[in-house]
């Protein structure tokens, strides 16, 4: 029961008829369907017969309280998100249910903005859970430019495959240069929104006033220099995906405005009065620890929870060293073609040095190093002498480093590529779809390469 709002159903469980009616009225106003249950017994019976996307349940009820009802609901539908409502005097009861696996709890009198946020998170979470339960054979082949077959990358790609087809808001965390934008693009390309725009905004690159205008647009005359109306990035991304990079750099004032747009799916241009409805999926990224920023009151907690329905962490390059030969091969080919250079070979000494370097700048630093190496190489071999001095200085210093297992001396890049592809095919037991996913290429591309090897 995922997808559009009208198909989403919330079960409201409360023995207070007036409160229950009020909650259902709000839920319907927010675009969801609502089913009522007047006690825990009725709620358990309802869950046993019908699927729901979330349950909103009071903890104190006469016939069967929320704790017992949750235990029984959990036995019937372990993944169904349950939000507990409680008075301040019963917070200990709610905490006990949370420890047992409830999705969230809210204190009475309810903050309606907090309620809506909690329900949105629960519904988005349920979409991802249902996707995970779908048989692998029913999932579409993942399209991605992410390169690598190391365990951390395989785990990341699996999560991308689960999350991409849903409408869940995603927060991508990782150090600078790890490839967070590639992950965002993979989420968009493998979603139902793939034919619509993918719009990128670097929140750290613009001053607050320019960022507000850039995101929401502005009316003519809204400020000095605003000579005509301009549509913002939210409107440009309508129907598609908006990628908010470096979200942790935004001011608290901007965070308030972003939260409103995320919750209401509507906005006003700077200097305008008209309300504009939008349909945009948000993917945000940061290299900061936003949970710590929330504790320091440097980032709004409500926005953090709205963004963090699903968090994907992109591993640093030092944690995926086995991917380095594959990345080096990719970048070497790319920059040799771009700079019209003939590249026949990468020496094993060069590859071992690249494999042993710690890469504080991650994949971006590696890409830059290979581009420099291709431009400065003499002849048709890429050697360690063409690499940046910071990497050359590592020669002989990393005594505990395990060099690349790929032997590059005897052959060309064609041979290296063949070795890597056949190695992955062997690891997957000949499963071409799985091998293509690990290699970061499409199945069609893999088949084309295998055909070339047969023609040798």
Question: CB–CB of 215/202 below 8 Å?
Answer: no
333 vs 132 pLDDT, higher one: 333
What is the distance between the alpha carbons of residues 313 and 311, in angstroms, rounded to a whole number?
Answer: 6
Q: Give the CA distances from residue 253 to residues 64, 117, 207, 282, 305, in Å, rounded to whole numbers and listed in that order.
A: 44, 19, 13, 19, 17
pLDDT band at 91 (very low <50, low <70, confident <90, very high): low
- Return d(Cα 137, Cα 431) in angstroms, integer: 12
pLDDT in tens, 141-190: 778 889 988 899 999 998 998 899 888 899 999 999 999 999 999 999 99
Q: What is the DSSP string of 162-206?
A: HHTTS---EEEE--TTS-HHHHHHHHHHTSTTTTS-EEEEETTSS
Closest CA to 424 of 153, 42, 222, 224: 153
DSSP 270: B
For residue 228, with 0-12 CB atoms within 10 Å meaning exposed, 13-18 middle and 19 or more buried, which class applies? exposed
- Two tokens at 48? 């046993």
- Contact by Cβ (8 Å): 106, 86: yes
- pLDDT category at 248 given cuts 50, 70, 90 is very high
The gap from C-alpha 186 to its chain's centroid, in whole angstroms, comes to 9
Place of tokens 């048709």: 380
Q: What confidence score (pLDDT) does residue 396 get?
A: 57
Q: What is the DSSP letter of 275?
A: -
Does position 438 have pLDDT exceeding 90, yes or no? Answer: no
Paired tokens of 210: 């320019």
CATH class of 318-454: mainly alpha
Q: Which CATH architecture best describes the domain 151-314?
A: 3-Layer(aba) Sandwich (3.40)
pTM of the model: 0.73
Pick from 413, 419, 420, 418: which is nearest to 438 by CA?
420
**pLDDT reported for residue 7:** 79
Task: Write down the domain spans for the chain.
Answer: 5-133, 151-314, 318-454
Helix (H/G/I), strand (E/B), else coil: 389: helix
pLDDT per position as a tens digit, 217-229: 888 887 877 788 8
Fold of the CATH domain 5-133: Rossmann fold (3.40.50)
Cα-to-chain-centroid distance, residue 107: 30
Whether 5-133 and 151-314 share one fold: the answer is yes
DSSP state of 352: H
Does the bond joining 109 to the residue before it have cis omega, within 30 degrees of 0? yes
93, two tokens: 């009861």
- 254-274 CB burial, b ≥16 within 10 A, e <16: bbebbbebbbeeebbbbbbee
């Amino acid at each position: 029961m995922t997808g559009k709002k009208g198909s989403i159903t919330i079960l409201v469980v409360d023995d207070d008829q007036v409160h229950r009616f009020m909650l259902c009225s709000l839920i319907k106003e927010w675009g969801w369907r609502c089913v009522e249950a007047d006690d825990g017994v009725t709620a358990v019976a309802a869950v046993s017969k019908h699927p729901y996307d979330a349950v909103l349940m009071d903890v104190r009820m006469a016939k069967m309280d929320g704790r017992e009802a949750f235990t029984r609901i959990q036995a019937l539908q372990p993944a169904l998100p349950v939000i507990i409502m409680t008075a301040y005097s019963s917070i200990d009861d709610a905490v006990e249910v949370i420890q047992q696996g409830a999705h969230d709890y809210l204190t009475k009198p309810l903050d309606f903005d907090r309620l809506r946020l909690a329900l949105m998170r629960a519904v988005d979470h349920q979409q991802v859970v249902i996707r995970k339960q779908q048989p692998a054979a029913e999932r579409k082949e993942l399209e991605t430019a992410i390169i690598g077959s190391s365990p951390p990358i395989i785990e990341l790609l699996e999560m991308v495959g689960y999350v991409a087809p849903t409408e869940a808001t995603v927060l991508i965390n990782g150090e600078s240069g790890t490839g967070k934008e590639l992950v965002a693009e993979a989420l968009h390309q493998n979603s139902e929104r793939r034919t619509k725009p993918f719009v990128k905004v670097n929140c750290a690159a613009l001053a607050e006033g320019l960022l507000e205008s850039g995101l929401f647009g502005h009316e003519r005359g809204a400020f000095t220099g605003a000579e005509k109306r301009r549509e913002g990035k939210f409107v440009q991304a309508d129907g598609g995906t908006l990628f908010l990079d470096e979200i942790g750099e935004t001011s608290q004032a901007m965070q308030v405005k972003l939260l409103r747009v995320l919750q209401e799916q509507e906005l006003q241009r700077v200097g305008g009065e008209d309300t504009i409805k939008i349909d945009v999926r948000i993917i945000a990224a940061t290299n900061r620890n936003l949970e710590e920023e929330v504790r320091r009151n440097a980032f709004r907690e409500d926005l953090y929870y709205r963004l963090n329905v699903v968090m994907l962490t992109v591993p640093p390059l030092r944690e995926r060293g086995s991917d380095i030969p594959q990345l080096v091969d990719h970048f070497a080919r790319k920059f040799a073609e771009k700079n019209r250079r003939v590249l026949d070979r990468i020496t094993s000494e060069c590859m071992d040095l690249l494999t042993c370097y710690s890469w504080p700048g991650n994949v971006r630093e590696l890409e830059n190093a290979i581009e420099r190496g291709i431009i400065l190489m003499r002849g048709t071999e890429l050697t360690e002498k063409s690499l940046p001095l910071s990497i050359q200085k590592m020669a002989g210093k990393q005594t505990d480093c395990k060099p690349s297992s790929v032997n590059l001396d005897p052959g060309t890049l064609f041979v290296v590529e063949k070795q890597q592809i056949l190695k992955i095919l062997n690891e997957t037991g000949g499963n071409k779809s799985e091998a293509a996913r690990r290699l970061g290429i499409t199945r069609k591309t893999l088949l084309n390469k295998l055909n070339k090897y047969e023609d040798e």
